Amino acid sequence: MKKSTNIESKPQVRAPEPTVDRIEELAARILSGDILLPKFQRDFVWEKSQIIDLLDSIFNNYPVGSVLLWRSRQELKSERNIADLDIAPTKQDYPVNYLLDGQQRLSTICGALYWRGRDPRSKWNVAFDLRDKRFVHLESLDAPPVHRIRLNRIPDAAAYFQQIAFLEKEEDGQQLAEDARALFNRFKDYKIATVTLHDMSIEAVAPIFERINSKGTPLTIVDLMRAATWSEDFDLVDQISSITDELDEKQFGGVERKTILRSISAAAGGGFSESSIDQLRRHESDRLIAAVNATKSAYQRAVDFLVTELHIPSDRQLPYVNQVVVLGEVFRLLTNPTPVQTEAIKRWFWRTAIAGYFGGWNTGNMAADQAAAKEFAQGVVAEIEASTSAPPAAIWRQREFRSNSAHSKILILLLAFNQPRDLLTGARIDVGRALFHGNAREYHHFFPRDFLKHRGVGARQANSLANFVMLSSASNKIITNRAPSDYLQQVISNAGEGLRDLLQSNLISEEAFEAALNDDYNSFLILRSETVQAEALRLAQW
């Protein structure tokens, strides 16, 4: 008998169900409690102009995008009123449809069609001007002129057509009545594509959820867990913001919210994975607040370590953001590491960075790293264990320079630590500015790109990491597309007896310099890679 394959042994998940629904009916389902709006945002955030744009698109029969629902019995904190209207209570243990994408659009339809508020300045006080063929916001609760029809009349067909009867008495009444019927039919018949996800856990929904992009605002698992953990005295987004606000004072406010959420999960007694994050829903607010405070203190110590011990000035220069998750766990469990432990943490940082360990960080790695951090903090082991090994020196010539890639950041840090000097002027490069801004303004090709292009060298090889140095923009303009054998004569003349120190500050060996004097690009790359690799291994103490 054949063994079951992995695919066959996985539980079957029902495929997403696409339907086409009338938009008025979707809005009504929100008020009935069948479609719930999780607390991703506490307040409606669309401006009046955006509301008008959406209504105008519907009137003109333009597409307004689809909505995504998640049908589940899991309990998320949801809005209980919208547009001054109460949402009906949901039946106990009854599966509901959480609105993952389309909240602003359906909220707008709900508000415009069903508003019964008493604030004349409300963004839901909307009418359609039959003469001007446009939607307008009213500023009074008084009955508007007969040619302006409030949209909240549409759900009540009898009242709506009674107003049409009055319209027909106007001078241009027949045309106005015809346009009013067209407006009524448009909002009654307008349909929208709906996709419903069935029988999925938060862990399964999260990757789908994170790819949603509505009006340029990506939604993440942080938003999902905000709805799962929300209470009157705990708002997950506000709590995470309290951490990023403090980190921002140290230039590390760009650490991703999801990264911090992993650490909060661990501090609450769970792990780093999304399945562990989901367990936060089971905790009371006091435990969640304690976990946030522990994470905040741990991150403050972790950032101090990054700045003082590793000389990394901002989150822009972190090779891998998830290194902060493990660092945070170490400093949560070990508030005052000894000098020996500090050196071990530094070794771990450089080894995991250079080996690209966090480039494929999975659930198994997360559990292993959390256990390793605990054993290290308890003194059970002298090193933070991680399955890493030194990559070959060839990595520095095989990978391209991109200022946001991990090994580009490592190269930049290696150069910065050696206090590089400008090749032409010999002046110290302002590495603080270069590192802080994290851009490519101070990083230039040693073998000019145009020179290599005319030699038949492709862009990928020309952009090799080993071909980059820190160089002022002024010097780069002087070098332009000159052959190294040409402009390096100026370097030799200007540096004099200080040439060797100048080259060492740029991690260029004398042998690599000789290859460059001969315009031998391949030999230069090999020799420069070996020097960069040696410096990387020194930091990692490999």
Amino acid present at 115: W
**In the block, which residue shows the tokens 């909505």?**
67
Return the sign of the alpha-carbon dihedral for residues 430, 531, 403, 321. Answer: negative
Cβ–Cβ < 8 Å for 401, 463: yes
Cβ–Cβ < 8 Å for 335, 301: yes
User: 249, 248, 276: which is closest to 264 by C-alpha?
Assistant: 276
Predicted TM-score of the model (pTM): 0.77
3-state secondary structure of 137: strand
Ordered per-residue pLDDT tens for the chain, 542 residues: 333 333 334 445 577 889 999 999 999 999 888 898 887 654 556 889 999 999 999 999 999 999 999 998 887 878 787 767 788 887 776 788 998 888 889 989 999 999 988 889 999 999 999 999 999 999 999 989 989 999 999 999 998 998 888 888 877 888 999 999 999 999 999 999 999 998 787 777 877 776 765 555 567 889 889 888 988 889 999 999 999 999 999 999 999 999 999 999 999 999 999 999 999 999 999 999 999 999 999 999 999 999 999 999 899 999 999 999 999 999 999 999 999 999 999 999 999 999 999 999 999 999 999 999 999 999 999 999 998 999 999 999 999 998 789 999 999 999 999 999 999 999 998 876 666 554 456 789 999 999 999 999 999 999 999 999 998 889 999 999 999 999 999 999 999 999 999 999 999 999 999 999 999 999 999 999 999 999 999 999 99
Using alpha carbons only, what angle is made at residue 433 by residues 431 and 438, rounded to the nearest 5 degrees?
95
Cβ–Cβ < 8 Å for 286, 232: no
Residue 264 tokens, joined = 């909060």
Using CA atoms, how far apart are residues 498 and 490, in angstroms rounded to an integer?
Answer: 13
Amino acid present at 540: A
Residue 450 tokens, joined = 């145009």
Cβ–Cβ < 8 Å for 209, 258: no
Using CA atoms, how far apart are residues 126 and 52, in angstroms rounded to an integer?
Answer: 9
Residue 3 tokens, joined = 């063994």
Q: In Å, how far are 153, 201, 205 from 10, measured between CA atoms?
A: 51, 14, 16
Using CA atoms, how far apart are residues 85 and 107, in angstroms rounded to an integer?
Answer: 11
Q: Which residues of 39-65 are buried (b: 16+ CB within 10 A; e: fewer)?
A: bbbeebebeeeebbebbeebbeeeebe
Amino acid present at 48: K
Residues facing residue 16 across a β-bridge: none
- Based on DSSP, count helices (H) and strands (E) in the chain, helices before strands: 25, 14
Using CA atoms, how far apart are residues 288 and 266, in angstroms rounded to an integer?
Answer: 11
Burial class (CB in 10 A: 0-12, 13-18, 19+), 537: middle
Cβ–Cβ < 8 Å for 464, 526: no
Residue 457: count of CB within 10 angstroms of its CB: 18
**In the block, which residue shows the tokens 């689809």?**
66
